[in-house]
Amino acid sequence: DADVTQTPRNRITKTGKRIMLECSQTKGHDRMYWYRQDPGLGLRLIYYSFDVKDINKGEISDGYSVSRQAQAKFSLSLESAIPNQTALYFCATSDLRLAGGRLQETQYFGPGTRLLVL
């Protein structure tokens, strides 16, 4: 079973609609992230959360909102979808661990949600 899951995997919606993308994890990590990926631009951070009820804006938060009601779930909402929000969306979790005597934070990504806004 996948440790980080996203639903739906694919979604087509119309301009102006409100939609929600869900992310769940079984890794027990406190930190969770939402990114979008566009060709040539790499991954850009939308929002992140370090704990339940903790919400922080990333690089491109306008037009998006998130909710972190439980450690295992982090949902992303598009309040009123527009065509330039068409992208591949990734959820990620991260943990902190000692590796080679150093503290290392590593991210683990979900499979992605491909969103098309018409």
Residues that bind another protein (CB under 8 A): 33, 35, 40-45, 48, 58-59, 90, 94, 99, 102, 104-112
For another protein, give the closer residue by CB, 15 or 104: 104
My answer on whether omega of the bond before 8 falls inside 30° of 0, hence cis, is yes
Residue located via tokens 């119309």: 14
Closest CB 19 distance from another protein, rounded Å: 21
Amino acid at 106: T
> In angstroms, what is the minimal distance from the CB of 25 to another protein?
13
Nearer to another protein, 78 or 92 (CB): 92
- Whichever of 15 and 99 has its CB closer to another protein, that residue is 99
SS3 string, 96-116, reads EEEECCEEEEEEEECCCEEEE
Bridge partners of 40?
none
What's the full length of the chain, in residues?
118
3-state helix, strand, coil in the chain (%, to 5): 5, 60, 35
Residue 46: CB minimum distance to another protein, A: 11
Least distance in Å: CB of 112 to another protein?
6
Task: Return the number of the residue (8 or 16) whose C-beta is nearest another protein.
Answer: 8
